[in-house]
Each structure stands twice: as structure tokens, then as C-alpha cells.
Structure 1
């Protein structure tokens, strides 16, 4: 029996390419017990981009300072700053003139009203919200609930073996550090995502790709966004 699995960190308000991958998988393993990384161009754990009149801008979840090596699921939110109101104000300011603002904004208000203590919980709430809006049906498990002893590709294979995966669906960004041998040894086929970013109507000038998924939703609405994500 074929079982395709995606393994990925719980990023904040992820871009549409991530959800495109979930469309073709049976299970999403939330990689929540690896080191939290910030301050690099590859860090999307507590931020994502939206489009403004002055170009792209970070939408950021404010977190407490933590020692290097702290796991994602141990990163705490910082409630000394009203970052939730700041985020909602920034979203409202830049998307209030979008065609589907009234349809989408209440979902963001509900998301930001959720009481969470840690980043992973809040990020998963954002992912669950977008899974619902994109009408994606997928099972979810957490790597922190699975027992593993290895690292890197070997650990991914440990996880995949435990959930009886036959296929591992990976984003192409992982090709730079991918080691196929452990997958071959475990008889797990690696599939590389085939994703071409769609161009859709957008506010504020020339089209800008790789923004948070909320950009697509505000500009195209729920029904049309579902079709765009599926390449229809």
C-alpha cells in the first residue's frame, strides 16, 4: 500500500508551495523537535512576507529570547509586546482594498485571538487555518511524539519507517543536502515536488511571488484560491 509523507517544520503562515505539497500527501509530519533557527534568509519559523505599497514586508511573531539549540516546540511567545495587534494592523492596512478582504480577515482575527504559549502551537494554528481554507484533507502527526535516535537524512528515514511510508515528498530546496542512501536502504522512494508558482491578480503593482498564502486568499478569495493551488 502506497503512503506518501511530507516532513516539514511548522512555519508561520506558510507560502502556497508548502500547501501544494500537502495536496499530494497522505500524512504531514510536523518536525517540531529540531533546533529553532532565526536570523538567516532561510528562517521562516516566526515570520513570513506580505506585499505592501512599498514592496514586501515581514509579518513577524515576536518570541522570547532563548539559548542556541532550543527546539522549536520549546520557543515561547513574547507577550510583553502587542505583536498580534501590530500584525493585524499591518494586514488590514495593506489588504483592506483587496477584493476578498471581508471574507478572509475574520479568519485572521480568529487566529490571532487564540491563546498560545509557544511558537509551534501558534504556527500550527495558522497552518490548520490555511489547510481548512484550501480544503486539504491530510492526517497530521508530530515528530516529538515519535522515538528517534539519529540525525539528518537518517532521522527522516527513522520517522518515515515508523509511520510506514512508501514515499517521501520533499521540497526541492532539500536537494542541496539530501543523502539518498538511507532512503534506498529502507526502500522508501523520494519524490521531489514539482511546483510552478502561479501568477494571480495582486494589489500594489507588479506581481510578487513567494509571499504568505494569505496574499493569494485576500486577492482571489477561498474558492478561486483552491483552484489556483490545484493548477485548475
Structure 2
């Protein structure tokens, strides 16, 4: 299968599996850094599989003046809440029995030890973490102005079912809930580990949205 030359994405909190599939099949990953902050998106949340089903864990942000567009790059994380500790506990509770959680746990702890005041910078670090662990190495670049890319907007949207269906893989709570999607790329990493690359390779660069 031929790779897509370029994929534009909005930096997200541990990009989801559908974004990873598209990223694997691109030559150049372009981060949109000139957009405005939008609620109900993966900019400040990711979805994991827990014993109770899908759970969205969200990063608290410092809210700015309402009623006006706020640049995404200016959004700061609210560290008055112990969100990192809570998120690490939620991730461990969800995936400690997965085949590869312990293998990646120390690297994950080192990532969460970083202090980034900017939500966008934190999300770029999270994306880099996933790409490095999965050994996905596209050329990385950044937009010089806002692109308004439709696919990028759909990939970042967390509200509603806008994602195509991809092939199932073994998940920790699959016997209880069936195969859950869309989920954060952490789910793929902890369940498949090094085999994640084979999974991503086997999926078409999914362009159609339900």
C-alpha cells in the first residue's frame, strides 16, 4: 500500500488508534499549531478501556475569557489539581493486567515527570512518546499558518461517532465489554506491544468517517 505523503493533525492527548493508523501510513506528519482551542475534542482528553467500559480522562485547563476564540497554543494546564497522579492511577488500573503494561511503565512514568505548562507542548510530548515506542518515524513538521484541514478536524473530535471501523485486537476487558473503539493509542501499545506495528501496517489509511 502506498503511504499518504502528508497528514495534518492537531496535537492530542495520546492520539487515538485511528490517528495512529493514518500516521503510520504517511510520510510526513504535520502538527497544526495555529488553531483555536475547541471543547469536546482530544486536545485535553483521551479514552481508555476500564473494567466499567470506556473512560475519558481529561486534563484540567486554566480557562480564559469566554465568548472569544482562544489560541490552542496559549492554553495552560491547571496544576492545582493532581491530574497526573490520577491519570497514572487510572491507566495502571486499566492496563496493569495487559501483556505489555509493565514493559512500558517506566517510560510512561518518566513522561509524566515532565512539567509542561502548555497543553499543546504536553500533547506533543505524548505524541512523541507513542511514536517512539511504536517506532513510527515519519518526517515531523509544523504549520506556518492555520490550514483548516477537514480530516484533521475529524480526527481530533471526541464528540459523537465519527470514526471508521478498524480491525479488532485483543483487549483486557474484551470478554466483558466486547471490542471497544475508538481508544487512545495507549490501549494498542499495552495490549499488542511490539506487534502494534504489524497491526497498523495491516490497516488501510482510513479516510472515510461514519
Q: TM-score, normalised by structure 2?
A: 0.81
1:48 to 46, 49, 68: 46
Rg: which structure is higher?
Answer: 1
- For residue 59 of structure 1, report the CA deviation from its aligned partner: 1.6
Change in Cα spacing, 1:4 to 1:151, as seen in structure 2 (3 Å) is closer
SS at match of 2:63: coil
User: Quick one: distance in 1 between partners of 2:115 and 2:153?
Assistant: 34
Match of 2:34 in 1: 33
Q: TM-score, normalised by structure 1?
A: 0.74
> What CA deviation, in whole Å up to 9, does each residue of 1:169-197 have, x standing for no partner?
x46948xxxxxxxxxxxxxxxxxxxx751
The correspondence of residues 124-203 of structure 1 with structure 2, limited to 5 A, is: 124-143=124-143, 146=144, 148=145, 152=148, 170=151, 173=154, 196-203=165-172
- For residue 199 of structure 1, report the CA deviation from its aligned partner: 0.7
- For residue 152 of structure 1, report the CA deviation from its aligned partner: 3.6
Match of 1:12 in 2: 13
Match of 1:96 in 2: 96
Contact 2:14–2:127 (CA under 8 A) maintained in structure 1: yes
User: Quick one: distance in 2 between partners of 1:111 and 1:199?
Assistant: 28
Relative contact order higher in (CA < 8 Å, ≥ 6 apart): 2
- For residue 107 of structure 1, report the CA deviation from its aligned partner: 2.4
User: Quick one: distance in 2 between partners of 1:196 and 1:55?
Assistant: 18
Change in Cα spacing, 1:60 to 1:124, as seen in structure 2 (3 Å) is same
Q: Is there any run of 5+ residues in structure 1 with no aligned partner, and where?
A: 157-169, 175-194
Match of 2:81 in 1: 81
User: Quick one: distance in 2 between partners of 1:216 and 1:122?
Assistant: 20
User: Quick one: distance in 2 between partners of 1:3 and 1:202?
Assistant: 29
User: Quick one: distance in 1 between partners of 2:34 and 2:21?
Assistant: 24
Match of 1:114 in 2: 114
SS at match of 1:70: coil
User: Quick one: distance in 2 between partners of 1:3 and 1:213?
Assistant: 20
> What CA deviation, in whole Å up to 9, does each residue of 1:45-81 have, x standing for no partner?
1001101111111121121112341111110011111
Change in Cα spacing, 1:227 to 1:152, as seen in structure 2 (3 Å) is closer
